[in-house]
Amino acid sequence: MNREELASYLDSVRITGEVATPRENNLDHMRRFLDGNEHLEFGVRTTRPWTFDEVFSLMHEKVGTSADPSHTTGQDTIDAAKCVAALDRFADRLGRSVRAGERILFATGHPGGLLPVHAALASAAAQAGAEVMEIPHGIRFREGDVRQVQGVLAWHQHGNLMHTHYPQPMRLVLESLAAAGRPGPELVVADHGWAGEAAAAGVPALGFADCNDPGLFVSEAEGQLEVAVPLDDNVPPVLYVPLTEYVLDRAGFAGAPALR
């Protein structure tokens, strides 16, 4: 699948284009990010104050949300071309890391949507010679723990893998590795607070981010997160298969199938 075909496909399944997240939610999350809301700051530690207008303009530039400030309710969009361009940069960076045999840590705060994507990337990276890191067991967070499923970190609680924006699980993982005398990751591939916290801690990181996740795009603009890929981060996992296969091919892992 070439770039144009992928962009058309992404729009057709609403990973991009007219996505499910409404305009009012996007605007509300921009404000709450700036207010330091614990569910939306994603561990991002900015180096300067940001205004609402700056974040608003950044989201239009990097994501393709509407540039009309009077558009406050209803449909909003993610630009497929921006998504594919970011996927190209994401795949190129991941490919370099894998070819160098680096230690890579995969994590997700959206296990119901993105865990199979990360798992496919982790499996392919391991087959191609990277070290997909294993974390120490028993890292507790709130009423649960951090678990590794198919090479991907997620927050587990009461028998469920949890949707979370919290950055603390990644912070705890990095601290646990250091306490055990183990080297940290040389690249993190993640989303939500897992990605934002790693980048803020100075770990090279790549992240997937929805149009209501302004923190990761601010992190990228600040030179912390290396790539923020704009997409709807919670469609049924099978819909991400062409995207995942595109990344694997671009990264140089042709022949390593995405999980279906």
Between CA 196 and CA 45 the distance in angstroms is: 9
The pLDDT-based confidence of 253 (bands split at 50, 70, 90) is: confident
Cβ–Cβ under 8 Å, residues 162 and 111: yes
Q: CB-based contacts of 68: which residues, under 8 Å, 6+ apart?
A: none
Residue for token digits 């709130």? Answer: 142
Among residues 138, 117, 119, 203, the alpha carbon closest in space to that of 167 is found at: 203
pLDDT(159) > 60: yes
Encode pLDDT of 12-68 as tens digits.
Answer: 999 999 999 999 999 999 999 999 999 999 999 999 999 999 999 999 999 999 999
pLDDT of res. 254: 57
Encode pLDDT of 99-136 as tens digits.
Answer: 999 999 999 999 999 999 999 999 999 999 999 999 98
**One-character DSSP codes across 16-64:** SEE-SS-HHHHHHHHHHHHTT-TTTSTT---SS---HHHHHHHHHHHT-
- Helices 80-99 and 241-251 pack at an angle, to 10 degrees, of 50
For the chain, the structural domain boundaries read 1-252
Between CA 65 and CA 115 the distance in angstroms is: 25
Tokens describing residue 225 = 């997160």
Tokens describing residue 16 = 């991009």
Tokens describing residue 166 = 């919290």
Tokens describing residue 81 = 């071309």
pTM for this model (two decimals): 0.95
The pLDDT-based confidence of 256 (bands split at 50, 70, 90) is: very low
3 state SS of 243: helix
Between CA 66 and CA 70 the distance in angstroms is: 10
